Chain A
């Protein structure tokens, strides 16, 4: 049994303790390495902001309705602020990949909707289909996208949207 008062031995023990301390930091500061994506995987991100159509059509106020309002608020048209939810469906190679019904944010449900979805997909050739309905007043989907795509390993394929061009690969 060693003598704990022995200075030399104590320094040796301290060196061991400091080594363990350094070793913990050495290892855990970078290891074990983390593989986020397999070698043959890529990422598809669908990201856009869009406001749904006004949920109800405007209504022309009758004279009787106008008279009930204060004089400064007698606008002839009564338009609801609430916007339609957005319905989006994404299919990759014919299989459902993502679908969502997103309600408009805000107290009056009149805000723009942000869609962000990111998902790992196998790299290679695929067929991408996207359908979006942004109005409860019209039947069916308002925007449709069908395209063959090629994704390289580790690539982030970004799909965006704007009203004039519809869905686009960025």
Chain B
């Protein structure tokens, strides 16, 4: 199967981290939360440093020197942590962008998250830049004059900002402005943008796993001790700093400006931003039709509302006069067409309405639950091996139809989280010896929670649960991407061997009658 090189690179990186950290701590699955974690480090250390910092021309440099050398054991470490956590945030943000791009999670319904993330990158970079100004060393001088030149080149401001950095022209008001920007203005806008960035997803988690957070913190702490952040010489507006130890995570635009010009640097930055901003529509991606609510089969239980990963479902008072208090409503513009809600609905029970079309409370027009039941029946009927396995896959992970043969049949859903637990039980009842769910890699579901909800439903932690009478030895959940054919085949082979053993001791289970509902 053809996998584009960028995605292949991402999957290889993801695999490497899975081997190193396991799927729970894999940093690639926690890039957003790690960035939040680094922001917390920056905030806490920044507050401490602010208590010691003197925001004046004469006091700024000396206070930072005091922080670095006199109180090195606390304030100095805080300064280093402040700086290195800022650098780490750039790494996680860029990796986050790479991951979303490589795995195609920036188009269609995800355009909002992608586009709203770009101003965050701009904000973080400018926040870092104003941080470097405050030190008021030679590097700060370089950054201040360079930033002023960049702003002067825009046809926005009257007067020359750069002339403020001539010898004898600077006043302490400069520090008040930069302190306001760095300590209040930019962070407030950043937190607003972060809120906006995650607004279209539900169950937002902003904390990485504790072990991963501890590991990252320890790495930054060790780095702070072995290479403490230090200043250049004090700023001197009568001479030009010659050699600078630039922080390339934040200050890479300045040498480019020296090499080209202010205008060309703006042009490049603007062009990159616009190209990135337009990526979700190049070409446009049409999402499948949104989920549809059928009130005749909805009792307002809210399970679909709880499970929707994208805040596309809301609950409101009943409008059809039925005896229930509530009903759900789907916002089509937010719906990702993942089908997770369909599996949440207790009415998506294939044992119901056995002789007629199966209807459910919330259904997917592209693959209705009735069609899914038919597909399951047909796939099971087509197999004739000693240990027949129904593979349930998704459109974004491994293509399960690649393994089709006389004892293996795959059915492909929009998301593995779309399979109702009762459908698995139904497949076993209809003659499958085993059902293997092959969704995306564990913790890396294209639709965020598909494989997680499958795990929780099957283990009885989340409704609708897989009923106790279903033989769990005949059900296997395994995550795999397009490039994981070998490991999936290997797991399938192991599973089949286990099924062969089970078949030897197979005991008939009484049939379940039509109309029986799921234990929810």
Which A residues lie within 8 Å of B27 (CB)? 17
Please provide the chain A residues from 24 to 81 with a CB less than 8 Å away from any CB of chain B in the complex: 24-26, 28-31, 33-37, 39, 42-43, 45, 47, 49
CB within 8 A of B20: which of A13, A24, A156?
A13
Q: Is A164 an interface residue (CB 8 A)?
A: no
Q: How far is the CB of A164 from chain B (nearest CB, A)?
A: 18
CB within 8 A of A14: which of B21, B83, B88, B246?
B21
Residue of A with least CB distance to B92: A21
Which B residues lie within 8 Å of A26 (CB)? 223, 227
Q: Beyond A26-B227, A47-B160, A116-B152, is A36–B167 a contact (Cβ under 8 Å)?
A: no
Residue of A with least CB distance to B159: A114
Please provide the chain B residues from 200 to 251 with a CB less than 8 Å away from any CB of chain A in the complex: 215-216, 218-220, 222-223, 227, 229, 237-249
Which A residues lie within 8 Å of B218 (CB)? 18
Contact, CB under 8 Å: A47 / B166? yes
Expressed in whole angstroms, the Cα–Cα distance for A116 and B148 within the complex equals 11
Q: Which 7 A-B pairs have the closest CB atoms?
A: A13-B20, A30-B245, A116-B160, A114-B160, A18-B219, A28-B248, A37-B242
Chain A interface residue number, banded: 35 or more
Which B residues lie within 8 Å of A17 (CB)? 17, 20-21, 27
Q: List 12 A-B contacts (CB under 8 A).
A: A18-B215, A24-B91, A25-B87, A28-B248, A34-B243, A35-B243, A36-B142, A36-B244, A37-B241, A37-B242, A39-B242, A154-B240
Contact, CB under 8 Å: B167 / A34? no
Residue of B with least CB distance to A111: B158
Contact, CB under 8 Å: B240 / A28? no
Q: Beyond A29-B84, A49-B159, is A156–B167 a contact (Cβ under 8 Å)?
A: yes
Residues in B lying within 8 Å of A, measured CB to CB: 17-22, 27, 83-84, 87-88, 91, 142, 149, 152, 158-160, 162-163, 166-168, 215-216, 218-220, 222-223, 227, 229, 237-249, 255, 258
- Besides the known contacts A30-B245, A114-B158, 20 further A-B residue pairs in the complex with CB atoms under 8 A apart: A4-B18, A17-B17, A17-B21, A25-B87, A25-B223, A25-B249, A29-B83, A30-B246, A31-B245, A33-B245, A34-B244, A47-B160, A47-B162, A49-B159, A115-B160, A116-B163, A154-B242, A156-B167, A156-B238, A158-B167
Expressed in whole angstroms, the Cα–Cα distance for A28 and B94 within the complex equals 15
Which A residues lie within 8 Å of B160 (CB)? 47, 49, 114-116
Which B residues lie within 8 Å of A122 (CB)? none
Q: Beyond A22-B219, A47-B166, A114-B160, is A29–B87 a contact (Cβ under 8 Å)?
A: yes
Q: Is A127 an interface residue (CB 8 A)?
A: no
Q: How far is the CB of A116 from chain B (nearest CB, A)?
A: 4
Which B residues lie within 8 Å of A24 (CB)? 91
Q: How far is the CB of B106 from chain A (nearest CB, A)?
A: 24
Expressed in whole angstroms, the Cα–Cα distance for A17 and B218 within the complex equals 13
Contact, CB under 8 Å: B158 / A105? yes
Q: How far is the CB of A45 from chain B (nearest CB, A)?
A: 7
Which A residues lie within 8 Å of B91 (CB)? 21, 24-25
Q: How far is the CB of A115 from chain B (nearest CB, A)?
A: 8
Expressed in whole angstroms, the Cα–Cα distance for A29 and B90 within the complex equals 11
Q: Is A165 an interface residue (CB 8 A)?
A: no
Q: How far is the CB of B476 from chain A (nearest CB, A)?
A: 18
Contact, CB under 8 Å: B239 / A155? yes
Which B residues lie within 8 Å of A114 (CB)? 158-160, 163
Expressed in whole angstroms, the Cα–Cα distance for A127 and B14 within the complex equals 63
Contact, CB under 8 Å: B87 / A33? no
Q: Is A100 an interface residue (CB 8 A)?
A: no
Q: Is A97 an interface residue (CB 8 A)?
A: no
Contact, CB under 8 Å: A118 / B162? yes
Which B residues lie within 8 Å of A18 (CB)? 215-216, 218-219
Contact, CB under 8 Å: A36 / B245? no
Contact, CB under 8 Å: B152 / A36? no
Contact, CB under 8 Å: B17 / A25? no
Residue in B149, B216, B219, B249 with the greatest tally of chain A CB atoms within 10 Å: B219
Q: Beyond A154-B239, A155-B238, is A34–B246 a contact (Cβ under 8 Å)?
A: yes
Expressed in whole angstroms, the Cα–Cα distance for A116 and B220 within the complex equals 42
Which B residues lie within 8 Å of A39 (CB)? 242
Expressed in whole angstroms, the Cα–Cα distance for A36 and B255 within the complex equals 8
Expressed in whole angstroms, the Cα–Cα distance for A10 and B160 within the complex equals 57
Which A residues lie within 8 Å of B229 (CB)? 29
CB within 8 A of B243: which of A28, A33, A156?
A33
Q: How far is the CB of A33 from chain B (nearest CB, A)?
A: 5
Contact, CB under 8 Å: B244 / A45? no
Q: How far is the CB of B17 from chain A (nearest CB, A)?
A: 7
